[in-house]
Amino acid sequence: MKVLFSNLLSCLLCVLSVQIANAQSAYPNRTVQTVMPLQAGSGVDLLFRPIAQKMGENLGQAITIENIPGGAGLIGTGKVVQSPAEGYVLGVFNDSILTMLPNLYKKIDYDPTQSFVPISELAAITFVLVANPSFPGNTAADLVRIAKERPGKIDYASGGSGSPQHIGMEIFRQYTGVPLVHIPYRGAAAAVTDVMAGQVPVMMSALSVVLPHIRAGKLKVLGVASKTRSPLLPNTPTIDESVKGYEFSTWGALLAPKGTPPAVIDKLNESLATALKDPKLREQLIAQGFEIAPLGPDHLKNMIAQGLIKMKKVIRGGGIQPD
């Protein structure tokens, strides 16, 4: 009887192993849902939508996007954490979710290094320092000078405390010692609207979000935050050209819940890498201000670890608190 039971158990385990292997090799056999804890129209949203379409074509299944921006991104992120680790619910996050919020809140319901399996970075997101056209300065150095001449009188807008717009300007403030005043909004779109209206003079923003307003003359650029000039604004200096040593950009990434099978992660990473080799997609993303850099799971894992260390210093140094 013992031998018979042992043989039956072995057969059962073999059958289960084959079924699991077949399920993974057949992945995906239904729609893949991606959860984005950010507003529609945000930098990462603009970045991922065309990528999702191309990845879906590669995988032979549709990839949907659900925007869940509430709770500073914590609600949408929590949904990904709680989803089955099968590859059918994925997270599309920016570095705020993975490196800024964990340093901002004393307690959150996820661990950026333990709750997810990295798939890949999507792209780097170029940021620019923009101002209302009536602002008297034209460069980042002008902003520093004007703010020091009028301490506590120059405001800047952001999408909220701990948002990428806030962090980019806080790094600028710490680096230059300039006495700027932070005005947080509930989302970057509202912040951009008020800078265009002249309610707040300046802000840091993803280039993809404000590029149409720059081209329409509703905003002017004081500097590109990347180390090199943007091909979309070749005549616009970097911030580094007038405030030596400053650099800032963010990134978007694709992750899966902890426990997602390696075969599924490999298939998603391969699909993403293939999508980003498509000439038309690359041209579209570059034209929006994105810097393509799909380097796989290990690279993303290192980016998260290094970002957590950097953001801890910035957030504690600035005494940044949640809204």
Domain presence at residue 15: no
Domain presence at residue 27: no
Domain presence at residue 1: no
Whether 248 and 238 have beta carbons less than 8 Å apart is answered as no
In single-letter form, the type of residue at position 68 comes to: I
53: Cα separation from own chain's centroid: 18
Closest CA to 237 of 131, 123, 138: 138
Asked whether residue 20 carries a pLDDT value surpassing 90, the answer given is no
Shared domain check, 236 and 139? yes
End of a domain among 183, 208, 241? 241
Asked whether residue 25 carries a pLDDT value surpassing 90, the answer given is no
pLDDT confidence of 16, banded at 50, 70, 90?
A: very low
Shared domain check, 171 and 304? no
Shared domain check, 119 and 143? no
Hunting for tokens 């801890």 — which residue is that? 312
**128 phi, psi to nearest 5 deg:** -135, 150
Domain presence at residue 113: yes
Q: What percent of the chain has pLDDT over 90?
A: 79
Domain presence at residue 308: yes
Pick 29 or 322 by higher pLDDT. 29
pLDDT per position as a tens digit, 149-193: 999 999 999 998 888 999 999 999 999 999 999 999 988 899 999
Which range of residues forms the domain containing residue 299? 32-124+249-318
**Mean pLDDT for the stretch of residues 220-235:** 94
The CATH number that applies at residue 269 is: 3.40.190.150
Shared domain check, 143 and 82? no
Whether 164 and 96 have beta carbons less than 8 Å apart is answered as yes
pLDDT confidence of 82, banded at 50, 70, 90?
A: very high
Whole-number pLDDT of residue 23:
46
pLDDT confidence of 10, banded at 50, 70, 90?
A: low
End of a domain among 204, 221, 241? 241
The CATH number that applies at residue 200 is: 3.40.190.10
DSSP 50-74: HHHHHHHHHHTS-EEEEE---GGGH
Shared domain check, 95 and 73? yes
Shared domain check, 134 and 222? yes
Asked whether residue 307 carries a pLDDT value surpassing 80, the answer given is yes
**How high is the mean pLDDT of the chain?**
91
Closest CA to 116 of 303, 251, 259: 259
Q: What percent of the chain has pLDDT over 70?
A: 92
Shared domain check, 140 and 235? yes
Domain presence at residue 89: yes
Shared domain check, 270 and 135? no
DSSP 276-313: TT-HHHHHHHHHTTEEE---HHHHHHHHHHHHHHHHHH
Domain count, the chain: 2
Shared domain check, 136 and 53? no
pLDDT per position as a tens digit, 83-133: 999 999 999 999 999 999 999 998 899 999 999 999 999 999 999 999 999
Asked whether residue 13 carries a pLDDT value surpassing 70, the answer given is no
Shared domain check, 137 and 105? no
End of a domain among 210, 241, 272? 241
Asked whether residue 271 carries a pLDDT value surpassing 50, the answer given is yes
Shared domain check, 184 and 36? no
Domain presence at residue 284: yes
> Which DSSP helix (H) or strand (E) runs through 157?
strand 155-158
Say how far apart CA 103 and CA 122 lie, in whole Å. 23
Least confident residue range of 33-42, 82-91, 131-140: 33-42
Q: Which residues of 178-199 are buried (b: 16+ CB within 10 A; e: fewer)?
A: bebebbbbebbeebbbbbbeee
Shared domain check, 257 and 209? no
Say how far apart CA 212 and CA 199 lie, in whole Å. 19
Domain presence at residue 25: no
Whole-number pLDDT of residue 162:
85
pLDDT confidence of 240, banded at 50, 70, 90?
A: very high
Q: Are strands 290-292 and 89-94 parallel, antiparallel or unpaired?
A: unpaired
Calculate Rg over the CA atoms of the chain: 22
pLDDT confidence of 27, banded at 50, 70, 90?
A: very high
